[in-house]
Amino acid sequence: MLPVEPDGGIGDGAGPLEVEADTIPAAFLGVWDNVEGTCNPASDLRVEITPRGMQFYESYGEVTRVEVDSPRRIVVSLAMEGEGEKWQMARMFTLSEDGKTLTPESVDEEQFEPMPLKKCE
């Protein structure tokens, strides 16, 4: 039996292996809004995350791939559609330790300032 390291590695000094999935893990699901937002459906920074998709203010993304980096970090690839256009997008999402804050970051050429989101009740 191979030893297991605290971070999930197999005892050889390497980090844990990335896992691919076709759905977003449960800890990331729900409605999220800017930390200053009201969680109102009219908020333009609100996002609803389901196992197979993300509903943004004026667009929807269907999950095409999920890379699970750790229990608190995933990279989601999406087939986006909105305002008469279609495109591909990838985002890294990092969940806070308490599970109440989600920080999206760009992983492709599109750059934007990471804006933490709070979990809406």
Tell whether 68 is covered by a domain: yes
**Any domain includes 56:** yes
Total of domains in the chain: 1
pLDDT tens for 39-52 read: 999 999 999 999 99
User: Domain for residue 11, yes or no?
Assistant: no
Residues whose CB is less than 8 angstroms from the CB of residue 111 and which lie 6 or more positions away in sequence, other chains included: none
Interval 15-46: pLDDT, tens: 555 678 889 999 999 999 999 999 999 999 99
**What domain range is 57 assigned to?**
19-119
For residue 14, being part of any structural domain is answered with: no
Give me the CATH number covering residue 46: 2.40.128
**Rounded to an integer, what distance in angstroms lies between the CA atom of residue 53 and that of residue 79?**
9
44 lies in some domain: yes
**pTM of the predicted model as reported, rounded to 2 decimal places:** 0.81
- Please report whether residue 1 resides in a domain: no
